[in-house]
Structure 1
Amino acid sequence: MKILYLMRHAKSSWNFDGLSDQERPLNNRGRTDAPQMGQALAERNIQLDLLVSSPAVRALSTAALVAKEMGYPPERIQVVDGIYEADLDRLVDVVHGLPDEAGSVLLVGHNPTITDTVNALSPSLINEMSTAAVVCLHFQANSWAEVSRQNAELYFVDSPKNHED
């Protein structure tokens, strides 16, 4: 079995003129939501074999904050350049290319592609992944190259909205 967690990066800031899109940081809400979602994943007793992220600052910051809450060593976060600006086919290729020794992987990326990827790989459709939302898919597969909608089960969808006081 392969378990894939697809996460949209937390809310980012648009308040920095002169920064490229890839350099945009998280805003205050994003810096709150990302660790909150990391705590929610930790409460589910999820153990990651691999955490991969887009190189964009907002995605990598999300990944680092989630990793800290889950007890995943931040230095083991794998940055995959192809996630940034990936279209659906490219992001599915990234998933299919994950190392088979990793049974449980969290991938942090961007919309609209992260939502498109969820919908391409899941038997259930999701309208749109909100910022910091996480979808968990279980695949009856021995290799990441084999994962598809046909062998997938949507296990859960979670977002910061589910954890508001």
Structure 2
Amino acid sequence: MKTLYLVRHAKSSWDNANMSDFDRPLNSRGEKAAPLMAQKMLKASVVPDLIITSPAKRALSTAEVFSDMLDYPVERIEQRMEIYEGGIQHMLKLVQEIDDSCNTVLLFGHNPNLTIFTHFLTSKHIQNVATCGIVKILMPHEHWNETMMDSGNFQWYDYPKKQ
């Protein structure tokens, strides 16, 4: 059995209108929410075998906070541009290509793709995965390449304001 955590990046800053979307950093609310949610995963004894993230600054920064809290080497965080640029078919292909030696994977990305991908994998309707929201999905198979529409079992969804 495999476990996939879909994590939306923490709240980002819109202070600089001239900054590209890709380069937007976390704002103060995001800097507080990321450790709060990472702590929740630590308390749940989550030990990631792999962390994959969009390379956009806000997603990478969020992934780095989780990496630090969960004692995952930051240099092993895998950055994948298709999480930032592509749709759910790109995300599906990415998940299907995960090495089977990895049983617990955290994937950091953006909306609307994370919300759509949650529904695609589990048929669970979530209106909107909130910033720094986490969706836990169990994959009842031994191989990541068996991941497809409706192949995951929704476990829970949590987000900072729920705390």
TM-score interval (norm. to shorter) = over 0.9
- Once the two structures are superposed, the pairs formed by residues 140-155 of structure 1 within 5 Å of their partners are 140-155=140-155
Work out the number of aligned pairs and report it: 163
1:84 aligns with 2:73: no
SS in 1 for 2:155: strand
SS in 2 for 1:131: coil
**TM-score, structure 1 normalization:** 0.94
SS in 2 for 1:151: coil
Moved over 6 A (4+): none
- Aligned counterpart, 1:158: 158
Contact persistence 1:54–1:109 (CA under 8 A): yes
Deviations 1:111-147 (A, max 9, x none): 0001110110014221110000000000111111102
Percent sequence identity over matched residues? 38
Unaligned runs of 5+ in 1: none
1:54 aligns with 2:25: no
Deviations 1:19-76 (A, max 9, x none): 2110000000001101111000000001100000000000000000111111212111
| Aligned AA (2:17) | D
- Once the two structures are superposed, the pairs formed by residues 68-79 of structure 1 within 5 Å of their partners are 68-79=68-79
**RMSD of aligned Cα (Å):** 1.1
**TM-score, structure 2 normalization:** 0.95
Deviation of residue 108 (structure 1)?
A: 0.1
Unaligned runs of 5+ in 2: none
- Aligned counterpart, 1:110: 110
Contact persistence 1:55–1:84 (CA under 8 A): yes
